Chain A
Amino acid sequence: MIWEVFRQNQEGDYHTHCGNVHAPDRDMALMFAEIQHARRKPTNSLWVVPKEEIGEVDTEDAAFGGTTDKSYRWAQTYSFEAAAEEVAASESEQVEAERRRTPADGGDD
């Protein structure tokens, strides 16, 4: 049985997927994960999750974020004055994310 392993570096951080272990049950999975995935990395906590319990939806099944123009979601769409620095930074991140999500038509890369 395969258990997916999630490691948290320090308290308050998200648990991030870091690999898996083969084990017959949860206790053994935790025991193995402790060595296999945490012996050399800073670790505050580990989760193990049965692989079969994980639900998945991917790009074959879904158009994540939709396919039409959603720029009304951006904070500055409604702004007519110069934005605060933080808002501008946040928006440029969103613009970048949007660019990556929908590759330009006819691009040569």
Chain B
Amino acid sequence: MAAAEPLSGPDDLSDDEREAVEHLLYRLADDEFVVAERYTEWQVRAPTLESDLALANIAQDELGHARLWYDLLEDFGFDETDLVWERDSGQWRQSTLTELPFGEGDWADVAVRSYLYDVAEELRLDALADSSYARIRDRVGKIQSEEDYHREHAENWLDRLCEDEESRERVQDALDRLLPHALTIFAPTDEAVEDRIDELGLRTRSLVDMREEWLDTVVPYLESLGLSVDEVELPEQYDTHHENLEMPDEVGRDQSHTEAWDDLWSEFTNSYRELGRSEASTIMADPDDVE
């Protein structure tokens, strides 16, 4: 993709440009926030103290990344209550992969979900490193440096869980359930707006392009562990372009969500409502004021 003209700052964008930036930021921020919400459900319930701490730490990283992206939406006049605590559940754009509940005690789900997510995350961050919008571009590096651990963590678990037949079957079950939802990571919020995101150079690789590389990465790796992607509704030649991969009815990006999402949303906004709050407390410095 040819390098696009640099975009101006948040105050000088045209309506179309601003809409594209907002869609892109909601994709990023909502994914990170919701996946972290789910990860924290394992706190004090993970298989060992060590795995508990590692996952909680990853959740904290992802919340920190969500904060960096929401902060860029605040450039457009929103505040934290608009973006998180008072935003209707039907307005969110996270991939359905991030919102699905974990099966009780299903640690294989954690390994599979975070692997599928973190490979995608790596690709999309790479595609933002040369974004035409400086406010996004400048925050990518900080996030990338925390992501290596996430992928390593997921792969370490998958490698080991797949050494044993019984646990490999549980990984397979999780994979069968999650892979279609993982494809929604690359679903468009709105075709026209996504095209504009590419044309404006906000992102230097298209969703389809990233999805193909993602498949070319995750499928061979999963197969090398003795897992099968045959059960999943993927086309035979997954390494070529496909416009019509089977996806769940709800894809998240277009604000359609699984049933589980409303429950999760009610849960994390519950205290805010119960306490009759109308604003969010600020305990940390604005990201722009921190080096």
Contact = CB atoms under 8 A, between A and B. Distances in A.
Chain A, interface size category, equals: 10 to 19
Contact of A35 (B57, B156, B160): B57
B156 A34 contact: no
Nearest to A24: B160
Contacts of B149: 31, 34
A28 B57 contact: no
A22 B49 CA distance: 8
A49 interface: no
B219 to A, nearest CB: 24
A81 B260 CA distance: 85
Interface in A19-59: 21-24, 27-28, 31-32, 34-36, 39
Given A22-B48, A22-B49, A32 B160 contact: no
Contacts of B57: 35, 39
A52 B53 CA distance: 24
Contacts of A35: 50, 53-54, 57
A28 B160 contact: yes
Contacts of A24: 160
A105 B50 CA distance: 47
**A interface: dominant SS:** helix
Contacts of A31: 54, 149, 152-153, 156
A32 B149 CA distance: 11
Chain B, interface size category, equals: 10 to 19
Q: Name the residue in A23, A31, A35, A39 with the highest tally of chain B Cβ atoms < 10 Å from its Cβ.
A: A35
A6 B48 CA distance: 21
Contacts of A28: 156, 160
Interface string B22-61: 0000000000000000000000000011110110010000
A32 B152 CA distance: 11
A23 B160 contact: no
Contact of A36 (B50, B153, B156, B160): B50
A28 B156 CA distance: 7
Contacts of A34: 149
A49 to B, nearest CB: 16
B66 to A, nearest CB: 19
Given A22-B48, A24-B160, A28-B160, A36 B152 contact: no
Contacts of B50: 21-23, 32, 35-36
Contacts of B156: 27-28, 31
A60 B50 CA distance: 34
A36 B48 contact: no
A22 B48 CA distance: 8
A94 B110 CA distance: 55
A23 B51 CA distance: 9
Interface in B148-202: 149, 152-153, 156, 160
Contacts of B153: 31
A34 B156 CA distance: 14
Contacts of A36: 49-50, 53-54
Nearest to B54: A35
A32 B54 CA distance: 6
Contacts of B49: 22, 36
Interface of B: 48-51, 53-54, 57, 149, 152-153, 156, 160
5 contacts: A32-B51, A32-B53, A35-B50, A36-B49, A39-B57
Q: Which 5 A-B pairs have the closest CB atoms?
A: A32-B50, A35-B57, A35-B54, A35-B53, A21-B50
